[in-house]
Amino acid sequence: MNKTKLFCSILGLGMLSIGAAQTQTDSKNVEKLEEVVVTDSRFNLKRENSGKVITKITSKDLEKLQGQSVAEIIGRTVGVEVNGVRSNAGQNLNYFIRGGRNRQVLILVDGVQVTDPSQIANDYDLRLLNADQVESIEILKGASSTLYGTGAATAIINIKLKEASKKAFNLNLRSTLGTNQSSDENNYAIEDFRNSVSVNGSASKFNYLASFGQQFTDGLSAIESGTESDAFNSYNGNLKLGYTFSNTFKLNTYASFDRFKADFDDSFGMMDADNRSISKQYRIGVSPEFKYNKGSITINAAYNDVEREIESGFPSMFNAQSIIIDAFNRYNFSDTFYTVLGVNFQDNTMESFSIPFGASDFSQAIDPEVAQFTITDPYANVVYVSDFGLNVNAGLRLNNHSEYGSHLVYSLNPSYKVDLDFGYIKGLASYSTAFITPSLFQLFEPTFGNVDLQPEENQTIEVGAELSIRDNATFSIVYFNRNEDNFIDFIDTGGFVFQYQNIDQSFTASGLEFVAQAKLTDGLDINVNATYTSLDEDLNLRIPELKVNARLDYSLNEKTQLGLAYQFNDDREDLVFNNITFANNVVTLESYGLLDFYISHRIINNKMTIFANVTNIFNEDYQELFGFATRGRGVNLGFNINL
């Protein structure tokens, strides 16, 4: 069966469950709170009134995914491939969405952009984030630069952290122990330890939350042929304080620190090595909100400081600071027009140190007086929700970059909803543009940097439909086509001299994303998604043409949950450096499928939950990156206590 037929078969299988869902709807009147989404408009809009198909991972969903990392959870959603998530715990992560890479995927934490100006792609490292701190996740695909600025070219991943409990004092403890080995090892030793603790509560007008998390993982080498394991050790802390001064004004503040140490091997010679990557991040922020009749003014201000160190045969150190201030006014015109007017300011600075050839001490390689830029973007967005089914979301943003001047991006996203006896059907379309700024590393690194780089530009078209059956089932299919200009690549300019340069041609990524969610019977839910991606050759590195996720969740009773999840990843192409020819060879990574099992049970008056995961049940041997190790069958056990 070819891949197109397989995708169509998956789509048809999902649609066949409409009958089962319809039968369940007729036999039982289910009351459910209407799902709302935020990321595409910054308003709490009903999902049916959104012109986008947004993936929302709720707190209830996260309860069924205990013991998994944020990257693993996100990698199960439609249209998203997080490469490296099944390898050694310290493996670098790559986010592939609609043919885009890390620099085209913007991550928000509590609505605030988080980036690392010291990284090549200016991206946020999800290894820093503890899943136990997360309340919910929204994933919005497509260009969203009008609301969120540079980098929001293929997707927004909006991660909402947990809020304080309404009780005066609440204590949450979670601990997980698990195995960690490759598929050809039979020693199932406990090598993965994850622990977190959180205290939070509210008293009158004051609320607080303090959390701490820790992970230590060992037992698996970074490279496939390695004989020595490479450990990963991380810990983080988070403090949130809020005070409500009146019905119209409240203030939230936060501070956090994140740190990890990751051992890694020699990826050029594919040999064991005593290399280590150390990353430290410190964030502080403040978010006042003033409400007035039909509107509100919000200011999100954050300062981020990152320190990274590479201990290897080529040691280096990086320091970066960023300031982000996003001030916006939301106004609601009689639940028909929703408007956002705002201005976003960013200041990014970095420096690096290396040891020159023949020297023994570090010297500055990138000067922070040079490696610095600011962005000041005014923007406007309007949402129209009619009483006859038409909804329109449109926006404009003027990027004012200290290196590149002004650049306008815009979006238009109409949709039309028809109410039916059993639910609704919605058609949607969108056209959006995006602007991706080169990173400070790409611009100013003394060996590979290029100050003449121009920003990448994207244009994305989406057409799709969504069918909802009385909250018991949702089906959606979206076609996307993304055109990319001024693509930045790492080019051999001759004589083994490499430099970042813009490619003087356009690239295209297109495909289909299908999602089916249904309540088959009382207590049995199914969730299936499939992504078909067609890419120009220069964009297809490690991106599967076809990816499928399926999950069955069953409530055995009020206290016991069972889950069975399957993922299929198609063949992918990777590049391998040839030490003889000094060129990259193209290799094909074979397709693979993984089956996982989950069980949880609430005990002690529902205040304690015990859970277990069995991953890669059939001990599949596969590769995410050529030459690097991946995890075989794994088992973890854990508990969660909420007092």
Query: Do residues 437 and 469 touch, judged by C-beta distance below 8 A?
Result: no
Per-residue pLDDT tens over the stretch 320-332: 999 999 999 999 9
Given the candidates 3.30.70.100, 3.30.1330.10, 2.40.170.20, 2.70.170.10, the CATH classification of the domain at 3-642 is 2.40.170.20
Q: What are residue 215's phi and psi, to 5 degrees?
A: -140, 135
d(CA 295, CA 292): 5
The radius of gyration computed from the CA coordinates of the chain, to the nearest angstrom, equals 24
Tokens of residue 146, six digits: 């009008």
In order of 105, 464, 495, the CA distances from 512 in angstroms are 19, 9, 42
Per-residue pLDDT tens over the stretch 55-75: 889 888 888 888 889 999 999
Q: What is the dihedral of CA 626, 632, 635, 640, to 10 degrees?
A: 10
Pairing relation of β-strands 498-502 and 456-469? unpaired
- Residues contacting residue 518 through CB under 8 Å, at least 6 positions apart: 17, 18, 20, 21, 469, 472, 473, 474, 525, 526
The rounded Cα 133 to chain-centroid distance in angstroms is 15
| β-bridge mates for residue 208, sequence order | 201, 241
- HEC secondary structure over 111-142: CEEECCCCCCCCCCCHHHCCHHHEEEEEEEEC
Per-residue pLDDT tens over the stretch 257-286: 999 999 999 888 889 999 999 999 999 999
**Does the pLDDT of residue 288 top 90, yes or no?**
yes
- Residues contacting residue 156 through CB under 8 Å, at least 6 positions apart: 39, 105, 106, 107, 108, 138, 139, 140, 144, 148
Confidence category of residue 23, pLDDT binned at 50, 70, 90 = very low
Of 371-385, 401-415, 530-544, least confident by mean pLDDT is: 530-544
pLDDT of residue 49: 87
Confidence category of residue 298, pLDDT binned at 50, 70, 90 = very high
**Does the pLDDT of residue 201 top 90, yes or no?**
yes
Tokens of residue 37, six digits: 């989404």
Where is pLDDT greater, at 313 or 23? 313
Query: Do residues 547 and 81 touch, judged by C-beta distance below 8 A?
Result: yes
d(CA 593, CA 79): 17
d(CA 446, CA 512): 41
Tally of CB atoms within 10 A around 406:
10
Which amino acid is it at 504? D
Note the pTM of the prediction, 2 decimals.
Answer: 0.90
Query: Do residues 602 and 586 touch, judged by C-beta distance below 8 A?
Result: no
Q: Counting beta carbons within 10 angstroms of the beta carbon of residue 348, is it exposed (0 to 12), middle (13 to 18) or buried (19 or more)? A: buried
- What DSSP state is assigned to residue 250? E
In order of 50, 418, 469, the CA distances from 422 in angstroms are 19, 11, 6
Mean confidence (pLDDT) of the chain: 89
Confidence category of residue 12, pLDDT binned at 50, 70, 90 = low
pLDDT of residue 580: 67
Closest CA to 34 of 48, 24, 55, 54: 48
Tokens of residue 346, six digits: 């960013």
Pairing relation of β-strands 112-114 and 105-109? antiparallel
| β-bridge mates for residue 88, sequence order | none
Which amino acid is it at 372? Q
Q: What is the dihedral of CA 444, 449, 454, 460, to 10 degrees?
A: -110
How much of the chain, in percent, has pLDDT values that exceed 70?
A: 94
Query: Do residues 345 and 310 touch, judged by C-beta distance below 8 A?
Result: no
Closest CA to 374 of 337, 322, 427: 322
Per-residue pLDDT tens over the stretch 426-470: 999 999 999 898 999 999 999 889 999 999 999 999 999 999 998
In order of 9, 89, 225, 227, the CA distances from 271 in angstroms are 43, 18, 7, 9
Region 164-177 average pLDDT:
92
Tokens of residue 379, six digits: 């923007």
Helices (H), 64-124: 70-74
Region 115-127 average pLDDT:
88
Return the sign of the alpha-carbon dihedral for residues 140, 515, 134, 207: positive
Q: Tokens 């203030």 label which residue?
A: 251
d(CA 9, CA 27): 28
Per-residue pLDDT tens over the stretch 595-607: 999 999 999 887 8
pLDDT of residue 25: 40
Enumerate the domain spans of the chain. Answer: 3-642
Name the E strands within 421-472.
423-436, 456-469
d(CA 638, CA 570): 32
Q: Which residues of 180-206 are buried (b: 16+ CB within 10 A; e: fewer)?
A: bbbbeeeeeeebbbbbbbbbbbbeeee
Highest mean pLDDT among 171-180, 358-367, 535-544: 171-180
pLDDT of residue 269: 81
Tally of CB atoms within 10 A around 279:
22
Query: Do residues 623 and 184 touch, judged by C-beta distance below 8 A?
Result: no
**Does the pLDDT of residue 471 top 80, yes or no?**
no
**Does the pLDDT of residue 514 top 80, yes or no?**
yes
